[in-house]
């Protein structure tokens, strides 16, 4: 799954994290159920509209001179 739910013990919050974008937080919730709901909705939306965008993002990173690859 691209979107995962993680618990932040420091802030006692539930985070929705986009694993494809280097762990960017896309949502913060006080309740786990709300975070799971958002993660599922984000995943459905990505599968419906974004499969081509993943390939574009990976290709564009290779072509971007600011991004260093090993």
Residue 12 lies in a domain: yes
What's the total number of domains in the chain?
1
Interval 1-36: pLDDT, tens? 889 999 999 999 999 999 988 889 999 999 999 999
Rounded CA Rg of the chain: 14
Domain containing 21: what range? Answer: 3-63
Residue 27 lies in a domain: yes
Residue 68 lies in a domain: no
Residue 13 lies in a domain: yes
**pTM of the entire predicted model:** 0.69
The confidence score (pLDDT) of residue 69 equals 45
């Amino acid at each position: 799954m691209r979107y995962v739910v993680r618990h932040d013990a420091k802030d006692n919050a539930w985070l929705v994290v986009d694993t494809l974008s280097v762990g960017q937080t896309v949502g913060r919730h006080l309740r786990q159920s709300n975070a799971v709901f958002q993660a599922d909705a984000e995943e459905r939306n990505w599968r419906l509209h974004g499969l081509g965008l993943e390939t574009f993002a990976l290709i564009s990173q290779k072509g971007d001179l600011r991004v260093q690859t090993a």
